[in-house]
Amino acid sequence: MTGKHSPISSKLPVLMHGADYNPEQWLHDPKVLEEDIRLMKLAGCNVMAIGIFSWASLEPQEGVFSFEWMDQVLERFAQNGIYAWLATPSGARPAWMSAQYPEVLRVGANRVRNLHGMRHNHCYTSSVYREKTAIINGKLAERYAKHPAVLGWHISNEFGGDCHCGLCQDAFRSWLKKKYGTLEALNAAWWTTFWAHTYTDWSQVESPAPHGENMVHGMNLDWRRFVTDQTVDFCRHEIESVKKANPELPATTNMHMIEGLDYRKFADVLDVISWDAYPTWHQGTNDIKLGASIGFYHDLFRSIRKKPFLLMESTPSLTNWQPVSKLKQPGMHRLSSLQAVAHGSDSVQYFQWRKSRGSSEKFHGAVVDHVGHEHTRVFRDVAELGRSLAAISEVTGTSTPAETAILFDWDNRWAVKNAQGPRNMGIHYEQTVLDHHQAFWEQGVPTDVIGSEDDFGPYKVIIAPMLYMCREETGRKLERFVENGGTLVATYWSGIVDEHDLCHLGGFPGPLRKVLGIWAEEIEGLYEEDRNGLALSPDNALGLTGTFEAHEICELIHVESAEVLGLYTDSFYAGRPALTVNSLGQGRAYYMAARLKADFLSAFYQRIVEEAGLPRTLNTDLPRGVTATWRTDGETDYVFVMNFSGMEQQIPLDGREYTDLESGEPAGDSLSLPVHGIAVLKREV
């Protein structure tokens, strides 16, 4: 879609700006709460996420509720034009519950039950935990679902982790019975004849454990899928318990960069996707690589629903949990916040509004510091961003028109790293995906990040780095995509196993063999210092020349219907194909047999962008470290030009007419961006 989506909340149909707000920490000092409102307005904040860890303040004893403080906070919000994402408090449970009902405490993979403490450590299977959650959620919903200040639900907080208690073991077995029907089918799918692991009774099946079973790859994979399903089911349970009172209020849950949950499976239960971004800016002389990778994650979260998402958390200055906590240099707050908007976020929100006085996050960055007033560098940065967000608010609801997609499946991610294959010291799956994505980011070509089950229809180009786990259906879908004129780029270590993690027999890359027109016979891992090379063939169809370094992984392939574009330079397989292209129907499929570096990826993808006719945001070559992307409502494009290069930059514009959205001034022929600069321009479609 290239039009305008309806706003996430009709109550606040503008870009949202705000923070996690924990007034329960200050109830003893009501002046602080009054002052908060003054400061929120001064900072241009219009939304707060409230109640995230408030269970003990809302239900101090089992069945005894205390909502007066929340009433007052929301009332004050309503009077002052501030809105709330109201959280369900299940991210941390009160002590009375753990004492009374130990089954709510999570059991680790080592089968030891946690003591009470910390957060994010509940058993999602426990019917007691589910019941207690439904009660408090129901009470919150009854009281606040129609409150004028409440615009939506913030479900729990950063779901994650797994529980190995008896209840979860039973649930896992039921899940497996439903999936496989018989123990024979499960044994076959998990290849349990290997090492005499055949199960003869369902009760013998146990979740993976460090001191038990952890080498049955099919089981490891099913456990992760089960954990996702169980977490989604818990999230759905929470949403049902709040939606009864007002089905109109949207629900979200804040995701983060974890590997453990297949977030795409949450798409149907949530109305809005939101995520928490904590980049470690300012390592080294520039932020290019990190800027590109955060761009990737924004693309990933946006692509889950292909709609505007929310940046639910970010830090206004530093965190206190990263190995080194650097301050955001001048300009970086604006750049990193507007980067989210550039990639499709309709909010910039922080953890947290006011610094806690005690406990583990007392030194985490916040809009209001311990000093308690607005005369700080961080507050000024936040307030300035508030003004910028207000000035560019017409981008709210606009879409991101990507014609390129990166294929990034969670179960492939789990399987490829669990494989015990050619390079256990580091197959670098995520980094490889990021490297391919970065080549588009550098050119200012927007990308979606999709899964195998998504529709491939909207795309001209699909990049599938290391599609190790590839279902037969995915192979057929990619075949149709190419036959219909699409361009596919695949790499080594693709089409190796099916959805059960069983190897495809009859020649790799299994279901991709026809579309790629090659047979992959052998693969080797290289040591860190080893190098091979790719020498481009004279007059190859891409028009690329020269030799590029290959490292880490080299696959030995034979061409079947494909054409050779380049050869290995070294080792006993020098002279054999390392880069190929296959024509199928109206499209083409490229194959990189080895891991290649950024220099090659940049050169290669420039040619792919030209060949496939992919529009660049600005029809001009961007300086290194500068990227651009755009959002559109179908009539007006909003162009974001971002400078991660660590240097001042002069960027030639492409001859179209641009206006600076914040100043309303015409942009001229070129744009100067300071270090960490970003400009938001407007043009007619």
CB of 366 to ligand GLA, least distance (A): 10
Active site residue 75: no
CA–CA distances in Å: residue 68 to residues 24, 72, 132, 204: 11, 6, 20, 51
Give the ranges where 419-512 is alpha helix by DSSP (H): 429-443, 472-483
Distance CA 312, CA 20 (A): 8
Contact string 562-601 vs ligand GLA (x = CB under 6 A): ----------------------------------------
Eight-class DSSP state of 457: T
165 contact, one of Zn ion, ligand GLA, none, CB 5-8 Å limit per kind? Zn ion
SS (H, E, C) 627-638: EEEEEECCCEEE
Distance CA 310, CA 307 (A): 10
Q: Which does 276 bind (CB under 5 to 8 A by kind): Zn ion, ligand GLA, none?
A: ligand GLA
Q: Which of 67, 96, 175, 278 lies at the binding interface for ligand GLA (CB under 6 A)?
A: 278
Q: Point out the catalytic residue in the list 24, 59, 158, 374.
A: 158
Q: Provide the minimum distance between the beta carbon of 114 and ligand GLA in the complex, in angstroms, as a whole number.
A: 18
22 or 447: CB nearest ligand GLA: 22
Taking the least distance from each CB to ligand GLA, the nearer of 340 and 489 is 340
Partner interacting with residue 430 (select from Zn ion, ligand GLA, none; CB below 5-8 Å by kind): none
Rounded to an integer, what distance in angstroms lies between the CA atom of residue 465 and that of residue 431? 10
Return the residues of window 318-347 that contact ligand GLA according to CB under 6 A.
319
Closest distance to Zn ion from the beta carbon of 54 (Å): 24
Least CB distance to Zn ion at residue 129 (A): 9
158 is catalytic: yes
123 belongs to the binding site for Zn ion (CB under 5 A) = yes
State which residue, 172 or 493, has the beta carbon closest to Zn ion: 172
Alpha carbon 400 to chain centroid distance? Answer: 16
Tokens of 654: 């492409």
User: Rounded to the nearest whole angstrom, what is the least distance from the CB of residue 134 to ligand GLA in the complex?
Assistant: 22
Select from ligand GLA, Zn ion, none the partner in contact with residue 415, using the beta carbon and a kind-dependent cut-off of 5 to 8 Å: none
Which of ligand GLA, Zn ion, none does residue 163 bind to, with CB < 5 to 8 Å depending on kind? Zn ion
Q: Which is nearest to 453 in space by CA: 418, 486, 478, 436? A: 478
Partner from ligand GLA, Zn ion, none binding residue 501, C-beta < 5-8 Å depending on class: none
Q: How far apart are CA 541 and CA 501, in angstroms?
A: 36
- Torsion sign over Cα 314, 319, 322, 326: positive
Q: How far apart are CA 331 and CA 327, in angstroms?
A: 11
**Residue 403 near residue 460, CB atoms below 8 Å:** yes
Q: What is the contact mask toward ligand GLA in residues 359 to 398, using x (rule: CB under 6 A)? A: --x--x----------------------------------
Among the listed residues 105, 165, 294, 554, the single contact to Zn ion using CB under 5 A? 165
Torsion sign (Cα): 175, 181, 184, 185 = negative
Is position 125 an interface residue for Zn ion (rule: CB under 5 A)?
yes
Q: What's the CA gap between 627 and 442, in Å, rounded?
A: 6
How far is it, in rounded angstroms, from Cα 658 to Cα 639?
9
606, β-bridge pairs: none
Of 24, 59, 238, 313, catalytic: 313
Residue 435 exposed, middle or buried by CB count within 10 Å (0-12, 13-18, 19+): buried
Distance in Å, CB of 642 to Zn ion, minimum: 44
Taking the mean position of all CA atoms in its chain, how far away is CA 203?
A: 36
Between 313 and 552, name the residue whose CB sits nearer to ligand GLA: 313
Q: Which residues are marked as active site?
A: 158, 313
- Per CB under 6 A, residues contacting ligand GLA are 157-158, 256, 276, 278, 313, 319, 351, 361, 364
